[in-house]
Structure formats: structure tokens, C-alpha cells
Amino acid sequence: MRNFILVLSALFSTVFYAQKKPNLIPYPQTVNITEGEFIIPETLVLNDKLPKEETDYFKKRLGSLVKFKYSSKTEGAHLTQALVPQPKIPVTTEDVREKYTLTISPKGIFISSYTKQGYFLALQTLIQLFEEHREDKKIPALRIEDQPKFAWRGMHLDVSRHFFTVDEVKQYIDYLTMYKLNTFHWHLTDDQGWRIEIKKYPKLTQIGSKRKESMIGAYADNTFDGKPYGPYFYTQEQIKEVVKYAQERHITVVPEIEMPGHALSALSAYPELACTKGPFESATKWGVMDDVFCPKDETFTFLENVLDEVIRLFPSQYIHIGGDECPKTRWKECVHCQELIKKNNLKDEHGLQSYFIQRIEKYVNSKGRKIIGWDEILEGGLAPNAAVMSWTGVNGGIEAAKAKHFAVMTPGAYCYFDHYQGDPQSEPNAFGGFTPLEKVYSYNPIPAELNAEQAKYISGVQANLWTEYITDFKQVQYMIFPRLMALSEVGWGTSDPKNYKEFENRVISQFKVLDKMNVNYAKSIYNISGKIVPGNNGITYELSTSQDSKGVRYTLDGTDPTINSKNYQGPISIPKSITVKSAYFENGQLKSSISSQQFTISKTTGKKITLENQPSENYSFGGASTLVDGIIGNVKQLGKTWLGFDGKDVVATIDFGQKTGFSEVYFNTLENKGSWIHLAKSAKIFVSDDNKNFKLIKEIGKEEIQNAKGKIKLNAGSQNAKYLKMIIENAGIIPAGNPGADSKAWLFVDEIGVN
């Protein structure tokens, strides 16, 4: 083991340090507070044998706090190093590359690790301790024994939809470094732009790195800014610069070159690689496009040449080849594709996707590398040595692990940082969904369906930042912070959802560091959170905040709580349709944004509801009760006020508790075809008194739902029943000519009410 000894001279203190948990993120595996404290001196004397790059980083981060000087002597130096050869580790032994021990005593600081990487991670912990005790200059004596649970702890950045400079990408890598993430997934190509110079194919950046305009607002609005975008791309020298920068911080850069779908920017430059003649242009819309790479010899030659240059630039073990959201529309209509299916005895176009991926994998393997792709690479059979990045949920990771393939878990429900993290009314425009800090922190990357042996194939966890609605780097900062901290602790393996409030306090302590760095982080953590609780007499509304609840004030008439409001003292009864506005105050001053929640109360509100089919994990916030919580679905809040069903019907039964009279039934269904969300195909309404024998009282079809634009109000006649049952039919397979054609449609439903 290498021993990096930090003996930092200080005044000896015999004062016993209080047993206070240090504000470290990610929290180490074991922390033992001991007696005494280390006094931070004005000047740290460093032994000149310390690893240079790692120690230079340490000096740069602490440059404003202490001064440094070097000494060639071990004794008397404040920071010295003793090297011990790394032992040969048997295959069955845990990976120790990132393992370290940090001991702080009143006399000095001692770090030991097997590698420079472990030493560097120990320095990140030490830096946080220095930053926490910047003012009192006293670090408690302690001993930390630490290593991460997961080998892959990653953050993704999409530079295709919106481009970020080399300096901004470096800043992004610095953020990963601070919180011990070790993988940067660089999404370099997509329909909307090709961002990496390929010398053999110059038109990729001459043509594919620009688009004539960009979509703004929601997909359904179909509005554009009318402004040319690009050309924006990274030269190969800039790529090398970023890779070197990351390597110095012990971060692996994994490049992504999308195939066979998400290829429109490449096809705009080289249309002969498509199934149809074109012409093509880089996409101006977000979403999924029908034109994809055609699996013909010239396409594979092109991709192999591209990958040759990519592999020379990136030393990572894995090359990400995308593989997601590949419509089969063009392949179904392509004579060459259909002949290829027959020639290779493939089952269908899904088999053709597998053929495509396996052919690429064979080539990448021949170069000594491996491929990783989104979970759609499972379609038609997984390539022999491929790893899977599970994004549509956890099933892709489960399937891969059971087949003894490595998987990185990145489900949208927990790991998509382009979702809202607070009240959409007070947040910058986002893609949709609702993924607050607490939800990220609650994630366990190892699915319960896996046994201990299968769980070994879960390599780790990653969060993704897609940038359709992220136009500048300040907004990048806003979307990743503080959620990156929760991801960090999940990946380290020390997160504990039961102690979320304690983690939240550590996050708030880190805000001082981000303030000094001028980082534009989200302050949603201070905002008021509302929780609907059903009861025998309707619903109540519970308000909470990360701060003292005594500072919460609210109104029930929709008026501004800064003018005339009540002190929050407990759950608020919601007996009728009202608007609750709330905010957090300190010393009479507003400290949070104003949260607003409108309630529309009906006879179903707060009643018991059961679902035969469960919503997708990505869009299941609040569970079945979301459909009877008195809140009408907001288009911006797909993950919070709606339930989303992937290819499934909604079959909901509501128990009124007693026979109840009503004559009107209403519900909402959503359309956003760019996100594969289609209006319901039909709806049927039934009543019953025994929950066994149901009578059909109303049925409507697709045309009526479309005419109402998904906001359905039905005259049900005069009814008096104990149970109401609704079957809302999913649109089924998405037809040709639509984004996601040939895939299952999403059905979003909210608020089933009766009057």
C-alpha cells in the first residue's frame, strides 16, 4: 500500500472535539471521531516526493486558504509521502484502486492508499474538511476508512442539442471531481448536431454541426426561434485537451457516437448512408426522427472509420454507441434491409437492430475496446460482450445482469437531470418530469429482483443531462446542483433515504463552497413542499421545508402570502376548491419562492383507488392517489401531477365508501407526440355496488377524445353507486409518420372526478 503522510505542524490541542458528523459528500464508509483537533497552519510544508499532479490540484483548490512550500526532508515536513509497492490483488478480491484511509490527529494528517487515484480521492475528502473549517481553522481529529461501492459513478452531458465550450466542459469535469464521480459520458452526436471533428469526413462538421433554427417551448407548440445554430464542434486537439484534463483528475471520458438512430446530422452531411435519398438537414425539432443509418456495407465502412478516429482520441475501455430510440419505419420500407433480414434469417427489424449492433461491437472489440449502449441494444438479442446503460427503467439492467452482462443504472425516474427539481412555476423551462433532490437520493442502483451473484454485474449509476431546453452553462449548473451531490452519495454506496434530512443539511453546508465558485445552483431545497394526504373526510395538505417549519406561512384564497397570511401549524384541510399559496420566511423576510397549488374538489377526491396496471416508474409520483388528489394535471408537471403508462391501459376502480349520487364524470389525457404521448383511444365508465358486478354507463371513442383535446367531461345521467370503474384505452402502437413509430405509445392520465 502507498502511504501518503500528511504531517501538518500545528499547535497541539488537548480539547476533546465534539462528536459532530462532518459535512462530507459523499459521506465515507466509516468515520470515527477521535480526541483533539488539528489546527490549520498558515503555511503547509510539502515533501517534494508527493505525486505532483494530485498535489498540485490540492494546492490549487486550497490556494486561497493556506500557503505552501516544499521540503526535501521527510522529518519536519508538514506533508510527506512514503511509498509501499502495490500488492498483487487476486481476482476474487475487491477492487482497491479507489480505497484510502485518512487519519487526522492534533499532530498531523496521514493518508494511505494503494494508488494515486486513492490518494486523490482522499484529497477530495481533505479539501472538504478544510473548506468546512475555513473560518475556525480547526479540523476535528478523526479516522476515515473509505472506498466506493460502485466502480462506475458517472455524469452525462449532451452537447448536441446545445453546445458548451471546452472551458465549460472542464468546469463540468471539476464538479464531478469535487464529489468523487469518476466517469464523464460525453454525448457528442445526435440528430440536432455533430460535435466531434472526424478528419476523414470533414462534412460532418462543415454541414452536420449546424442547424437552421431550434425549437423553443413545448413540443406540441411547434414554435422555433428562427436563429441559425452553429457551426459548433470540438477539434481533435480540443478533444485531447479535455481527455488529458479529465485524466489528471482520475476521470474517464466515455464518448458517445449515436447509431443506428439519432443520426440525422450525419445524414445531412452524407445522405448516401440513409435508406432513402434525402436530402437531409440537422433536426430543428427535439424528439425522434425516422431517418436512420441504413445497415449497408458503405455505412459500416463509414462508422468503422469514424470509430477508428474516436478510439485514437479516447483511451476509455468503453465506447458508447447509443442504440436507443431507433425507429424501424425506413427499414421496413427499404428493399436492402428486407433482403438483409431474409439473408441472415433475422426475425424482423428488431433482429436487424441486433445485427447492426453486433457488427459494430465485433469491430470495436477488434480494436481492444468494448461497447456500451442504451437498453434498446437488447432488442433482438444482446451483443456478446456489450454493457447496457439502463434508462427506460430498471428492466434493461435486470435483463443484462441476469445474462451476465455489465449494466450501468440510469433510469429516467431518478437520474434524468433535465427534469424539474422544484415547482415548475418557479423553475426554468425543462423537458418535463419531476425529479427532486430527495428522489435522486432515494435511488438504490441494485434492483431487488437480482440475487447477490447477479448484482455483481451492476457496475454503477449515472445521471444524464439532456440539453434540449438548456441553452447556456449557467443553466447546466442549475440543473445538476445540488442533485449531483445526491447522485454522488448513491454511487458511493452510503446514501440512506431514512436520513434524508441529515443529508439535506450537508447539502446546504456545501452551498457556501458553490457560492465562492459562483455556481448557479438551484435553491429548490428551500421551497415549500406540499403533500396530499387522503382521509375519511377528504384530503389534507401538509407543507414542509428544509428549514424551520415555524417560518412557513400560507393563504387559502390565492392571495400573496407576503401580504396577509397564516402561520403553518399543521395539515390544512381542503374541503372545497381553493388555491393554497405558501412561502418560507425568516425574521419577516421572504426566503423562498412562493408556491401555489390549486385544488379542484369532486366526490372522488381522497377516495380509495386501485389500479390493475401500474404506471411506469418514471411517471408514478404519488401512485394511484394522484388520480383523485384534487389537482388537475399541469402539462409542465408530467412526473408530478400525471401518471404515465407505457403501452398499458388505465383500469381504475374508485371506492366512494358508500352509495354516492353523481351525473358528471371528467378526466384528462395528454397529447405530446414528440415524446410518444398520444391521446387515449377510448374510455368506458362502469358502476357497481359490490365491486364485482359492473354496469357500463358510458363509452366514448377516439374522435370524441380528440375533439375535446383530452379534457373530457361526460354526462353520465343520474347515477347512485358505491364503486366507479374506468377503463381508459392506450393508443397502442404509434403509426408511421410519427416520432417513435412502431413503438408502444404512452398514455398520460390525471384526475378522475365526478360531480
User: Which tops the pLDDT comparison, 93 or 39?
Assistant: 39
**What's the alpha-carbon Rg for the chain, to the nearest Å?**
28
Q: What is the mean pLDDT of residues 335-348?
A: 97
Band (89; pLDDT cuts 50, 70, 90): low
Catalytic position from the list 187, 262, 350, 419: 262
CA 226, CA 595: separation in Å to the nearest integer?
A: 34
Which residues have C-beta within 8 Å of that of residue 685, sequence separation ≥ 6? 665, 696, 697, 698, 699, 714, 716, 724, 725, 726
pLDDT number for residue 433: 81
580-618: pLDDT as tens digits: 999 999 888 888 888 899 999 999 999 999 999 999 877
Position 98 pLDDT exceeds 80: yes
pLDDT number for residue 50: 80
The percent of residues above 90 in pLDDT, for the chain, comes to 73
Q: Which three cell numbers stand for residue 558?
A: 390565492
Catalytic position from the list 146, 325, 349, 376: 325
Catalytic position from the list 190, 375, 376, 427: 190
pLDDT number for residue 19: 54
Position 5 pLDDT exceeds 60: no
Which residues have C-beta within 8 Å of that of residue 237, sequence separation ≥ 6? none
134-183: pLDDT as tens digits: 999 999 999 999 999 999 999 999 999 999 999 999 999 999 999 999 99
Cα–Cα separations (whole angstroms), residue 707 to 116, 649, 679 = 65, 20, 11
DSSP codes of every residue in 594-619: PEEEE----TTTT-EEEESSPPPGGG
pLDDT number for residue 526: 86
Question: Strand 67-71 relative to strand 43-47: parallel, antiparallel, unpaired?
Answer: parallel
pLDDT number for residue 69: 79
Active-site annotation holds for 133: no
pLDDT number for residue 11: 32
pLDDT number for residue 556: 95
CA 22, CA 28: separation in Å to the nearest integer?
A: 10
Active-site annotation holds for 190: yes
Position 68 pLDDT exceeds 50: yes
Active-site annotation holds for 325: yes
CA 365, CA 360: separation in Å to the nearest integer?
A: 9
Band (730; pLDDT cuts 50, 70, 90): very high
364-422: pLDDT as tens digits: 999 999 999 999 999 888 888 899 999 988 999 999 999 999 999 999 989 999 999 98
Instruction: Give pairs for 225-234: CB < 8 Å, separation 24+.
Output: 229/193, 230/163, 230/193, 231/205, 231/206, 232/163, 232/193, 232/195, 233/163, 233/193, 233/194, 233/195, 233/196, 233/197, 233/205, 233/209, 234/166, 234/188, 234/195, 234/196, 234/197
Position 486 pLDDT exceeds 60: yes
213-270: pLDDT as tens digits: 999 976 667 799 999 999 999 999 999 999 999 999 999 999 999 999 999 999 999 9
The percent of residues above 70 in pLDDT, for the chain, comes to 93
